[in-house]
Amino acid sequence: MADHDETPFDGDGDKLREECGVFGIFGRQDAAAITTLGLHALQHRGQEAAGIVSFDGKQFHVERHIGQIGDTFTKQSVLDRLDGSRAIGHTRYSTTGGSGLRNVQPLFAELSEGGFAVAHNGNITNAMIIQRDLQKKGAILTSTSDTETILHLVAFSQEKDIVSRFTDALRQLQGAYSLVALSSKKLIGCRDPLGIRPLVLGDLDGSYIFASETCALDIIGARFVRDVKPGELIVITDSGLKSHFPFEKSPSRFCIFEYVYFARPDSTVEGGNVYEIRKRIGLELAAESPVDADMVVPVPDSGTPAAIGFAQGANLPFELGIIRNHYVGRTFIQPTDSIRHMGVKLKHNANRRTIEGKRIVLVDDSIVRGTTSQKIVQLVREAGAAEVHMRVASPPTRSSCFYGVDTPETGKLLASRMSVEEMAEFLRVDSLEFISIGGLYRATGETERNDEKPQFCDACFTCDYPTTLADRDGTDKVRTLSLLAANS
């Protein structure tokens, strides 16, 4: 997140960030081009880098590039190098440090029985402990990536066939993972026992597909078959699909924030349509925290579905009082003092003619550090709003996520250090209300949160982590690497 703090105008630094999207297809001409399209639809899950591994029946081909799919993987020369009818791909949010392309997935290893590539969405919470053990056995780690850890566990496994070795490796992991893997004979998709991250199974004219969300099926006209189940490992070969459940059965704990913000509104994951759930959150919120106002204004674009729901529930006009500039450069000006004082509005602008003199209900999906919300409120006030009432489509975000989401440290989360009243004052709003945790569960279709056995992972709101956090519990919190930076 640190690198986003450095872009002072960039409101997006104030969002939780899904770190990855994955995709895989087996047995279809132009597998890499189709994977490129799938990753393009998953771009919101990770915009900084992407990779594709294809297999042509004899050899694997790897391409990894920094930048957005639509810029880096759409050149014919790149696709031409990715020959084959099987491919997996990965898009990621951030390549930390100077490590450049080394951490871009899919990762590939030459095992004694052939090549093996893996792409990972999630985060292993005991990776550092495993890494220390691997190193003692003679493994040469080239990165701190928890995905590389999985590869080494597979390489060291004494099992014979690749599925057994992979399963052997997975059993040593704690945390969240939706994985897509490719060997010379098999395409594998699997989710951790709790099913924290999404993974769906699709079908394109008889070719199986794995993807993080259904929107990656829609873009290519593939049919949604079903969600991969928590703890399920599906193996695709020339003979078709085979399902395994290698782990002890445990109740599902799907990440509820996927519904709040991460997933695309047109996706349907774990049975719920994202847009419809978000709109219902707005409806619940209007019922829980009504307000006398002239119009409902979304913080675009993430607040829009909940704002539509709120407006419908509250029977208020829905108005685009804030306009978002979709052109956002990679770098942005290091502002001089004189510019800093101008309060530059790079990303959002209020529409004075619409807002002036009006009582506004401002709807956003979440409040993380609060810096963006503060700016948005100021924007609306400067444009002449008479009153500003903020309604938030998720409960207060209080704790960090360790399951593959880029969260600020707990101390930087506004809700971890302020009460709702203090937050209202900090944001300078006339009123501030968050959806209740119960309201959020109701919007997903549950009747209420089962506090004994919560139906979702909602640790960022409740601190109720569904797995152990071995690496965090140890004394040496961060494994120190001898290598500072490798520019290569």
Beta strand 20-26 pairing with 17-18: unpaired
Q: Does 394 help bind a second copy (rule: CB under 8 A)?
A: no
Residue 328 vs 418, nearer CB to a second copy: 328
Q: How far is the CB of 401 from a second copy (least distance, A)?
A: 23
Q: Is 215 a catalytic residue?
A: no
Binding to a second copy (CB under 8 A) within 89-118 occurs at: 98, 101-102, 104, 108-112, 114-115
Near a second copy by CB under 8 A: residue from 96, 325, 450, 468 = 325
Query: 321: closest CA among 285, 353, 364, 275?
Result: 353
CB of 323 closer than 8 Å to CB of 348: yes
Structure tokens at 297: 């204004």
Burial (CB < 10 A; 0-12, 13-18, 19+), residue 386, is middle
Residue 185 as a binder of a second copy (CB under 8 A): the answer is no
Paired tokens of 124: 């292993």
Greatest distance between any 2 Cα atoms in the chain: 72
From 226-234, 333-341, 421-429, 447-455, give the range in contact with a second copy by CB under 8 A: 333-341
Among the candidate windows 194-202, 300-308, 362-370, 401-409, which touches a second copy by CB under 8 A? 300-308
Q: Which of residues 441-480 bind a second copy (CB under 8 A)?
A: none
Does residue number 71 form part of the binding site for a second copy (CB under 8 A)? yes
How far is CA 84 from its chain centroid?
29
Cβ proximity to a second copy, 24 vs 454, nearer residue: 24
| Residue of the chain from 223, 242, 245, 349 that contacts a second copy (CB under 8 A) | 349
Q: Look up tokens 């002239």; give the residue.
A: 294
* Cα distance between residue 77 and residue 124, in whole Å: 35
Among 15, 90, 120, 152, binds a second copy (CB under 8 A): 152
Cα(164)–Cα(372) distance, integer angstroms:
48
Q: Which is nearer to a second copy, 349 or 468 (CB)?
A: 349
Q: What type of residue is 172?
A: Q
Interface with a second copy, residue 29, by CB under 8 A: yes
CB of 405: closest distance to a second copy in angstroms? Answer: 20
CB 130 within 8 A of CB 172: yes
Among 20, 22, 41, 443, the residue binding a second copy under the rule CB under 8 A is 41
Least distance in angstroms from the C-beta of 304 to a second copy: 7
Per CB under 8 A, does 317 bind a second copy?
A: yes
In sequence order, what are the beta bridge partners of 191? 178
Query: Total binding residues for a second copy by CB under 8 A?
Result: 112
Q: Tell me: does residue 142 bind a second copy (CB under 8 A).
A: yes
378 is a site residue for a second copy (CB under 8 A):
no
Is the Cα dihedral 415, 347, 10, 93 positive or negative? positive
Residues 231, 315: Cα–Cα separation, whole Å: 43
Cα of 389 vs its chain's centroid, Å: 29
Backbone CA torsion sign across 3, 8, 10, 13: positive
Work out whether 315 is an interface residue with a second copy (CB under 8 A): no
Out of 2, 57, 240, 331, point to the residue binding a second copy (CB under 8 A). Answer: 331
Considering only 44-52, 166-174, 245-253, 410-418, which stretch makes contact with a second copy by CB under 8 A? 44-52
350 binds a second copy (CB under 8 A): yes
In angstroms, the CA 176 to CA 153 distance is 17
Residues annotated as catalytic are 20
